[in-house]
Amino acid sequence: MDHSYFIEILQKYREGKASPDEERFLLASYDAFASQPDVTDLLTPEERERLGSRMHGNILRQIAGQALPDRRKPVFAMWKAAAAVLVLAGAATIAFLVMQPGPKTPAVAAADQSVQPVQENNLIALPDGSTVLVSAGSRLRYPSDFGQRNKREVFLEGKALFTVEQQARQPFVVHAGGLQTTVLGTTFEVAAPQDGDVTVTVFKGKVRVDKEATPLGELTANQQIVYNADDGQSRQQAASQPAEWQQGDLLFDDVTLQQAATLLEDRFGYRISIPDETLRSQRFSTTFGSNEPLEQALKSICAFLQAAYTIDKEKKSIIIYMP
User: What is the rounded end-to-end Cα distance, in angstroms, of the chain?
Assistant: 43
d(CA 250, CA 137): 13
Q: Shortest CA distance to 221 belongs to which of 206, 237, 199?
A: 206
Q: Which CATH number fits domain 137-244: 2.60.120.1440, 1.10.1040.10, 3.30.460.10, 3.20.20.10?
A: 2.60.120.1440
Q: How is residue 184 annotated by DSSP?
A: S
pLDDT for position 40:
61
pLDDT for position 17:
76
Note the maximum CA span of the chain.
Answer: 62
Backbone angles phi, psi at 204, to 5 degrees: -140, 145
pLDDT for position 314:
93
Cα separation values, 160 from 41, 86, 140, 243, 320, Å: 32, 30, 8, 10, 27
pLDDT for position 187:
87
pLDDT for position 198:
94
pLDDT for position 199:
93
Provide the strand spans (E) within 55-104. 95-98
Q: Which residues of the chain have pLDDT under 70?
A: 1-6, 20-21, 23-43, 45-112
- Give the tens place of pLDDT for each residue, 17-74: 777 667 666 666 665 556 566 666 666 766 666 666 555 444 444 333 333 333 333 3
Q: Shortest CA distance to 200 belongs to which of 185, 190, 210, 192?
A: 190
d(CA 227, CA 114): 26
User: What is the H or E stretch that residue 139 is in?
Assistant: strand 139-141
**Within 10 A of 91 (CB to CB), how many other CB atoms are there?**
18
State whether the Cα torsion 252-15-78-71 is positive or negative: positive
Backbone angles phi, psi at 294, to 5 degrees: -60, -45
Instruction: Say if domain 251-321 classifies as CATH 3.55.50.30.
Output: yes
pLDDT for position 32:
57
Q: In residues, how long is the chain?
A: 323
3-state secondary structure of 34: coil
Q: Where are the domains of the chain?
A: 3-85, 137-244, 251-321
